[in-house]
Amino acid sequence: MSGTELSVELAHNVTALQERLGESFDIVFHPFPIGGRTSAVLIYIKGLTDLNAVQLHVLKPLLLFEDSGPESVRARLSKIPVAEAEALARMEDCTEQVLTGNPVLLVDGCGEAWSFGLAKGEKRGIEEPVAESVIRGSREGFTESLEVNSSLLRRKIKNPRLHMHQLQLGEQTRTPVVLVYMQGKADELLIREAQTRLQRIQLDSVLESSYIEELIADHRYSPFPQLLSTERADVTASYLLEGRVAIMTEGTPFVLIAPITLVSLLQAPDDYYQGYMLGTFIRIIRYLFFALSIFLPAVYVALLSFHQEMIPTILLLKIATLREEIPFPVIVEALMMELMFEALREAGLRLPKQIGSAVSIVGALVIGQAAVQAGLVSAPMVIIVALTGVASFMIPRYPLSISTRLIRIPLIVLAGTIGLLGVIYGLLAVLIHLCGLQSFGTPYLAPLSPASGKQLQDTVLRAPWWVRNRKSR
C-alpha cells in the first residue's frame, strides 16, 4: 500500500492528516460515533465550512443511524442528502478538500474517506465596477467568487457552447483558474495555446490575475498591456462572442481577455450603448487625446528649445515673457512638473476615498499656483501638463494609460536634446515596437495593420448595428 493511500485504521489516518494540515486553531477534528458503535472523525475548517448544513445533513443522519459494520456505513453515506459528495482514497485528496472548505469524514474500518460539498465563504455582493462605470448599460460587475462570476456569464450567454475548463495554479495556494471560451467561435489553436500557457505556469502562489498576466504575455518587456483586464460581465461576454478567450481567477474580480489589440484597449462599453454617431464622435476625440497624452509635452519642449520659429510671434512673445524669470531650462521644467503630477495622482489613489480626490485636486491647484508665483515654473507649462493629464484620463483602460506615462518621459528627454527630430525618432521607435507586438499570435495593430476591411467597421468609427449584422439578417 502506498504511503499516500488511506488506511483502514482510523487513528493512523487522523495522525497522518494532522501532520499534513499542521496545528491551527481553526482546523477541527471532531470525533463522534456512528449509530453508537463505529468511531468516526469529521475534519473541517471553521469559517470555511457551513456548520449548520453539516449538522443537519451529515451528523444528524449518522448519529441516528443503526449500523452493523463498515459496509452498512458505506451504504448510509451514499444516501447522505448532499449533492456534492465524493469518496476519497488518498491523503492528498483529503488535505485538498479540507483546505478548500469541504468537510471530510473518516470512518474506522474503511479505507476511504468522504468529502461533502458544504464549503462556504463570505462573498461580496454584485456591484458596479468603479473603474469601468458607464452612463447606460449593465451595472453588474464580477466579484471575488468564481461561482458568482461564472453564473454572471451564463446569464449573459445562454448557450451550451460556452465552455469552462478549470485548473489549479500555485503550488502553495492551489488557486482555481477557469479558462472560458465559446466553442465554434474561438479558434482551436487559440484555445490550445491558452491551455498550454496556463499549464506551463510554475509559481508558489497565485493571488491575483496579474500573476498570470505577466507569465502568459507574448512580450514580457513591453510597456504595453497584452491582455485586457475587466470587471464587467457584459464586456467579457462580448469578447467571448467575438471568439476570444477569458481567464477567471478565484479571489479577484478582474478577468483577463486574450487576444487583444491596441484598438480594443481604446474601446469603451459606452461606445456600443449609445447611438453610433455619438459613439464615433467620442472615439475620434479619444484617439486624438490618446496621441496628445503621449506627444504634447515633448512637442512643447522641442518647439521652445529648438524650433521657436514655428511658434506664432505673438504667442512666442507671450511665452517668453512668462518664462523670463524661470531659472530652469524647458526640459527640466517639464520633467519636474510631470513627476509632480504623477506624485499627486498616486497620492490621490492611495489616500482614503473620502479625501483622496479632494487632496489631489487641492494639491494640484495650490502647488501649481504657488510654483508659478514663485517663478519656478511657467503658467504655459502648467497648462500643458494639466492637458496631458486630462488626456490620459480619457483612456478607458488604466494599464494603457500607464504605458503612455512610461513613454512620455523618454520622449521629453529626446525632445529636449535634439528637438522635433527626437520626437520623430521616438514616434518611429514606438510604431516599430507596436508593429512587432503580438497578443496570442494576433498582431497588436490589427485590424489597422494588417488591414481587414470588415473589422475596420469597429475601429476609429463605430458602424451602425444594421451594417455590422447585415449578413445575419
Encode pLDDT of 414-424 as tens digits.
999 999 999 99
pLDDT at position 414 is 95
Residue 71's pLDDT band (cuts 50, 70, 90): low
Give the residue from 228, 260, 292 where a domain finishes. Answer: 260
Which tens digits make up the pLDDT trace of 138-153? Answer: 889 999 989 899 999 9
Query: Is residue 214 domain-shared with residue 287, that is, in the same domain?
Result: no
Query: Is residue 14 domain-shared with residue 161, that is, in the same domain?
Result: no
Query: Is residue 207 domain-shared with residue 306, that is, in the same domain?
Result: no
193 is a domain residue? yes
267 is a domain residue? no
Give the residue from 260, 292, 314 where a domain finishes. Answer: 260
Query: Is residue 210 domain-shared with residue 66, that is, in the same domain?
Result: no
pLDDT at position 192 is 95
Does the pLDDT of residue 3 top 70, yes or no? no
pLDDT at position 361 is 65
Query: Is residue 285 domain-shared with residue 409, that is, in the same domain?
Result: yes
Query: Is residue 93 domain-shared with residue 164, that is, in the same domain?
Result: no
Query: Is residue 337 domain-shared with residue 188, that is, in the same domain?
Result: no
Query: Is residue 251 domain-shared with residue 285, that is, in the same domain?
Result: no
Query: Is residue 290 domain-shared with residue 438, that is, in the same domain?
Result: yes
- The stretch 436-442 carries a mean pLDDT of 92
358 is a domain residue? yes
**Exposure b/e, 121-149, CB count within 10 A at least 16 = b:** eeeeebeebeebebeebbebbbbbbbebb
- The stretch 340-350 carries a mean pLDDT of 80
141 is a domain residue? no
123 is a domain residue? no
459 is a domain residue? no
225 is a domain residue? yes
Count up the domains in the chain and report the number. 3
Q: What is the mean pLDDT of the chain?
A: 87
DSSP states of 162-229: EEEEEEEE-TTT-EEEEEEEEBTTB-HHHHHHHHHHHHT---S---SHHHHHHHH-S-TT-SS-SSEE
Kindly state the cell numbers that stand for 326.
Answer: 524661470
Range of the domain at 105: 10-116
Phi/psi zone of residue 183: left (φ > 0), alpha (ψ -120 to 50 degrees), beta? beta
Query: Is residue 288 domain-shared with residue 402, that is, in the same domain?
Result: yes
Does the pLDDT of residue 122 top 90, yes or no? no
Kindly state the cell numbers that stand for 426.
Answer: 521616438
Question: Could you identify the residue written with the cell 508665483?
Answer: 373
Indicate the pTM of the whole model: 0.86
Residue 362's pLDDT band (cuts 50, 70, 90): low
456 is a domain residue? no
